Structure 1
Amino acid sequence: MTQPATPASTTLDRVNAVEDGELDTLLLEICSSPTWAKLVRLARPFRDETALHSANANAMAALGTADLLDAMAGHARIGTPKPGDATSEREQAGVAGAEQQLLDALAAANASYEEKFGHVFLICATGRTAETMFAAIRERYPNDAATEREIVRGELGKINDIRLDRLLHES
């Protein structure tokens, strides 16, 4: 006897069946790197959620520096979610209600980080407070570019996993 399809498995079936271009559009909403989207798409069909998350991990591991910059370009600066962007606002909910002094310090730390590394400070902000994100940017600022690039790769992977779960469970 087969088990009834769950909403996630039904959505996964749709992800497996959708045309390449349509899937690329969906995936680029999750991660703005065209290379990542292509690599995830090429890993189809996904037998389960674990396979989809493995495709994310494999794609993240394969991204070069330019691809990581493409992926980061889709993210708002920490402390300033994109107005009207539900994903950005949801992921950065931890900054809502933070004191202005902390937001100002976070903005200054972001500016210093961007000047040093040439891209936004990227962290999986889901579930984090403004204070913990500020502490993280201060902790990571002394890193060299290669170390920071690998930390960013890991943080992007976490963000992508959360967004892939939302795709499967909220569609």
Structure 2
Amino acid sequence: MQLDDFNALDEAEATAVARVWAEVPGWVNAVVAGRPYASVDALASYAGALAAQWAPADLEAALAAHPRIGARVSGDDASSAASRREQAAVRAATDDVVEAIADGNARYEERFGRVFLIRAAGRAPSEILAELERRLGNDDDTETREATAQLAEIALLRLNDDFAASTAAPESFAEENE
């Protein structure tokens, strides 16, 4: 997507795009209302500043849209596609790591009453498992802060990914034709 296209979308279409980044209604509304953005960096900076203010209720709202780490994600929507991309490494993990993550997910949900959330993109399955085990030792407040920070990382990664594809094509085209 081009930034100019996002800036020009009607409110409902822009809201649908931003909801893929994070299903936090107040944040989505503010990001959409902040258009037009002069640059992707300006958009990401504003979105990041807003995300830094997320409360526990915002985390809970967003978690309703997030699958468990290691779960098979179905669906043809943009959010499902993003989750599949982000968790690609986990799907390729060995059976023992997959089982350990599933066990850790169950213990985490029992302990904290919500799904374990981590930015999976760029992380090896063993690193995800280690973080899951470490975070099981957190107190409730610390874990809420960590999960909220992970949600913000996911949101900004998705936001930047949406615009990166449109900016990468011209560079590679130019390199091929030099």
TM-score normalised by the chain length of structure 1:
0.87
Query: Of 152, 155, 168, which aligns to 2:163?
Result: 168
Match of 1:36 among 21, 27, 42: 27
Q: Which residue of 1 aligns with 2:120?
A: 125
2:170 alignment counterpart: none
Alignment partner, residue 139 of structure 2: 144
Give the AA of the match of 2:158.
R
Amino acid aligned to 2:40: E
Q: Which residue of 1 aligns with 2:98?
A: 103
Q: 2:55 aligns with which of 64, 82, 93?
A: 64
- Is the contact made by 2:6 and 2:14 (CA closer than 8 Å) also made in structure 1? yes
Shift of 1:157: 1.4
Task: Flag the 1:81–1:91 CA change in 2: closer, same or farther, 3 A.
Answer: farther
Secondary structure in 2 aligned to 1:62?
coil
Query: Partner amino acid for 1:29?
Result: V
Asked if 1 retains the 8 angstrom alpha-carbon contact of 2:52 and 2:152, the reply is no
Q: Distance in 2 between matches of 1:143 and 1:30?
A: 26
- Which residues in structure 2 correspond to 1:16-95 (within 5 Å)? 16-84=7-75, 85-95=80-90
Moved more, 128-137 or 80-89: 80-89
**Aligned pair 1:156/2:148, yes or no?**
no
Which residue type is aligned with residue 102 of structure 1? V
Counterpart contact for 2:21–2:155, Cα < 8 Å: yes
Alignment-mate amino acid for residue 83 of structure 1: S
Higher relative contact order (CA 8 A, sep 6+): 2
Percent pairwise identity: 36
Aligned length: 162
SS in 1 for 2:138: coil
Distance 1:30 1:168 in 2: 12
Deviations 1:102-136 (A, max 9, x none): 21111111111111111111110001121110000
Q: Aligned partners of 1:99, 1:91: CA distance in 2, in Å? A: 17
**Which residue of 2 is the match for residue 115 of structure 1?**
110
CA distance in structure 2 between the aligned counterparts of 1:74 and 1:134, rounded to whole angstroms: 21
Q: Is the 8 A contact 1:125 1:133 kept in 2?
A: yes
Name 1:4's counterpart in structure 2: none
Equivalent of residue 135 in structure 1, options 126, 130, 136: 130
Distance 1:103 1:153 in 2: 24
The whole-number CA distance in structure 2 between the counterparts of 1:159 and 1:92 is: 12
- What amino acid maps onto 2:35 in structure 1? R
Give distance in 1, aligned partners of 2:36 and 2:92: 43
Work out whether residues 56 and 148 of structure 2, in 8 Å CA contact, stay in contact via their aligned partners in 1. no
Name the CA distance, whole Å, in 1 between partners of 2:74 and 2:125. 17
